[in-house]
Structure 1
Amino acid sequence: MTDEPGIEAPAAELRRQLAGTLEKDGRLRSPEWHAAVEAVPRHAFVPRFYRQSDAPGVTTWEPVTPETVGQEEWLRLVYSDETWVTQFDGRDIDWTDPRPISNAVPTSSSTLPSLVVRMLEDLDVHEGMNVLEIGTGTGYSTALMCHRLGSEAVTSIETDEGVARRACEALAQSGHTPHLLVGDGRVGHLDRAPYDRLIATCGFRNIPPAWLEQVTPGGVILTTLRGWMRSLGLVKLIVTGDSASGWFSEDDPSFMIARQQDAPESLGMVPGADDGTKRKAAYGPDVLTSSGPAFMAQLAAPDARFFSMPVDGGPHGTFVLDSVTDSFAVLAPMGSGWQVRQGGPRRLWDAVESAVATWEEYGSPSTAAFGVTVSRDGQAVWLGNPNGPQWTLPS
């Protein structure tokens, strides 16, 4: 693709424009990463991709290739600050005859460059450091690190064989030869440890213990924590021996969850109409979708998911189901408010309401007010300081 006549000159100009825009927006702060963005050809890593259609109805994704939209438009889209989907439902795409895709879940993508470089800047790398990347994806961020540190300093793990193969080919095409592995990123790669920095480009429900063992004391772990309902956010941890601690960022980036930690297919047992005990709810289901309260709901009910459907033949209600403990909460309209019906070992809505009330008591802060402590004894998110209110991460 990159050898086609007429591509390299406009691609180089688009990279310069992209780097300039990212620098102006405060994402690119160092000359080293600026040079990497200008040098690494993103079009080699996303030669074909899907974008979401804006047509009403069922969510549909449209293929984007030089053939479908024209070379100039394809190149412009490649170098725009957008995330482009490259795989659905864990299956390779037949690019010999690309067609629109509906009712599918994206499982691999090229993350928008502004988030990629923001994370790389936050990683705070220096020459001579050894870096482990969890989630090679298309290989674009891997190539940026190779340009910055040299290929020998970069190890990257991808769980999907097809995705890993394409990334390897694109990296080689671009002149980079990092250490690439196919496997479970949670176990890291002991053979090339210790690492000075670890960066994960997929979301995790907790910090894998192997990461603590393989990152050197004083080193950095940068990853997104997330649950089955939503992302919690980007957290930067400093490792101190067999523990680590740090803070969430102000932003709330969301990455696809690591496949080994994806939610089970079954949402759990839907309760019968007479199951559980009822009370008036202090909060309605909107807390599950509002930014700050939803962050708290995810902390309070880490194994739960929710959906809406008619309740007892009446209006739509919201079901919150915990597939691990078989606990449930069902919210239904009641006058001008809501009624909740709960059952199972955990009172899910009690926990959610308590967490949201604590958040409000502390002034409804952003995610930057929360931190994480990880040790052999457990993992917890805390508010304000390690001695403040805490919520345990799932094991």
Structure 2
Amino acid sequence: MTDDDKALRVALASRLASGGYLRTAPWQAAVDWVPRHAFLRGGFFDQVAGSAPTAWRPVMPDDPRWLTRCYDDDSLVTQIAGTIAPRDIRGEIRRAPTSSSTMPGLVVRMLEDLQVEDGHRVLEIGTGTGYSTGLLCHRLGDDCVTSVEVDEDVAGHARVALGDIGYHPRTLVGDGLLGAADGAPYDRLIAMCGVVDLPYAWVEQTRPGGIILATLCGWLYSSELARLTVGEDGTARGRFLGGQISFMLARPQLPPPLGMLPDLDDGDERPTSLSADVLDDWNTRFVAQLATPGAQRIRLERNGHTEHVLIDVSAGAWAALAQDGGKWTVRQGGPARLWDAVEEHISRWRADGAPDLERFEVTVTPEGQTVTWPKV
């Protein structure tokens, strides 16, 4: 590590502290010391400005921008389409990102929110590049950190990067939704990926009084960071912490392919008092996806106007909304009425005073996950 590297690390820590993400001395010391660029030696992808669909261009260590960009408070994409690394591309690629180095501000905010104490044993779900794992190792020591990564190549690169800077935590390759039972119980569990349903295995592997920190998402892509405490009864309860946190979903919980679209001219049509625009609001969309957890949203140009479509592939249900002369209608087909459920949920939430998501309560039991809100 050079003086330039050290200056960049210290400057990053200072920016994160000024932004309110970095709040305590032990985590500031970790950011001061752990070199983020050591986890990005394989390069990363930069988004090509103005591209549609989004194009990505590799940035390698021989690029003059590389080192400085490593210490920007940005998420840096490190893998495309499940297998493609920056070294594999010359030019541009238009595929979906599948792994990244999460923006440091979010990483340290979550580590602060985890409320660790000296000696705590932590299970991390989603090793990624290993940067967050390195911060945990600096704060707690290698022996207290276990990290699980689903992608063998990603895990291998992280393990090498960690070893290069002197850290040797327990790193596993596997489905992080299953946790790491052979090392349980843990004092803290942190997920560096989003989940649609928080697995009960995580609750079982966290000691009573321990904390689980995870981002709960949906296929309508509104998500919130939840902090839950495990009780003596084996139930985890908590609330959202706010901030509109976004993460890539855990791969086993990614939405299914849409396949062939249903006949959108079929189904039952009726007027609706809710426009599709309500789903543009983060909080309202979160409430909607509680009502239709299996639904995905797309937009289509048909017959000279835009249709907003919800599709639940597994249930075989769909709803298509369109505006005509200032009025909205919805057509619905399949065994469930998706928009009926959305209308009911949003109307009830609004009737209860439309409480902020930070007031919602999350409970995880052996029977599953529930999210509720109080009346204002």
Same fold (TM > 0.5): yes
Change (3 A) 1:11 1:40: same
Further displaced range: 17-26 or 163-172 = 17-26
Partners of 2:119 and 2:21 in 1: CA distance: 23
Q: Post-superposition shift, 1:300?
A: 1.2
Structure 2 counterpart of 1:361, from 335, 351, 375: 351
Cα-Cα RMSD: 1.6
Q: Are positions 1:145 and 2:142 aligned together?
A: no
Structure 1 counterpart of 2:286, from 290, 295, 300: 295
Match of 2:108 in 1: 117
Match of 1:78 in 2: 70
Matched positions, count? 374
Aligned residue runs from structure 1 range 13-52, under 5 A:
13-47=7-41, 48-52=43-47
Partners of 1:100 and 1:84 in 2: CA distance: 17
Further displaced range: 252-261 or 370-379 = 370-379
Match of 1:64 in 2: 59
Match of 1:229 in 2: 220
Partners of 2:7 and 2:250 in 1: CA distance: 35
Scaled by the length of structure 1, the TM-score of the pair is 0.91
Aligned residue runs from structure 1 range 157-196, under 5 A:
157-196=148-187
Match of 2:363 in 1: 373
Partners of 1:337 and 1:362 in 2: CA distance: 26
CA contact (8 A) 2:79 2:86 kept: no
**For 1:84-110, what per-residue CA distance to the aligned partner results, in whole angstroms no more than 9, with x for missing partners?**
000011013261x64243321110000
Could you tell me which runs of 5 or more consecutive residues in structure 2 were left unpaired when the two chains were aligned: none
Match of 2:251 in 1: 259
**For 1:250-285, what per-residue CA distance to the aligned partner results, in whole angstroms no more than 9, with x for missing partners?**
111110000011111135641341x22111111111
Partners of 2:4 and 2:86 in 1: CA distance: 28
CA contact (8 A) 1:134 1:185 kept: yes
Scaled by the length of structure 2, the TM-score of the pair is 0.95
Change (3 A) 1:135 1:345: same
CA contact (8 A) 1:271 1:328 kept: no
Change (3 A) 1:92 1:317: closer
Q: Are positions 1:9 and 2:3 aligned together?
A: yes
Partners of 1:101 and 1:257 in 2: CA distance: 24
Match of 1:99 in 2: 90
Partners of 2:192 and 2:178 in 1: CA distance: 15
Q: Post-superposition shift, 1:354?
A: 1.7
Structure 2 letter corresponding to 1:295: F
CA contact (8 A) 1:268 1:326 kept: no
CA contact (8 A) 2:222 2:285 kept: no
Structure 1 counterpart of 2:200, from 198, 202, 209: 209
Partners of 1:176 and 1:237 in 2: CA distance: 29
CA contact (8 A) 1:219 1:239 kept: yes
Match of 1:392 in 2: none
Q: Post-superposition shift, 1:12?
A: 0.4
Provide the identity percentage: 46
Structure 2 letter corresponding to 1:363: G
CA contact (8 A) 1:66 1:74 kept: yes
Partners of 2:91 and 2:216 in 1: CA distance: 31
Partners of 1:251 and 1:337 in 2: CA distance: 33
Structure 1 letter corresponding to 2:92: I
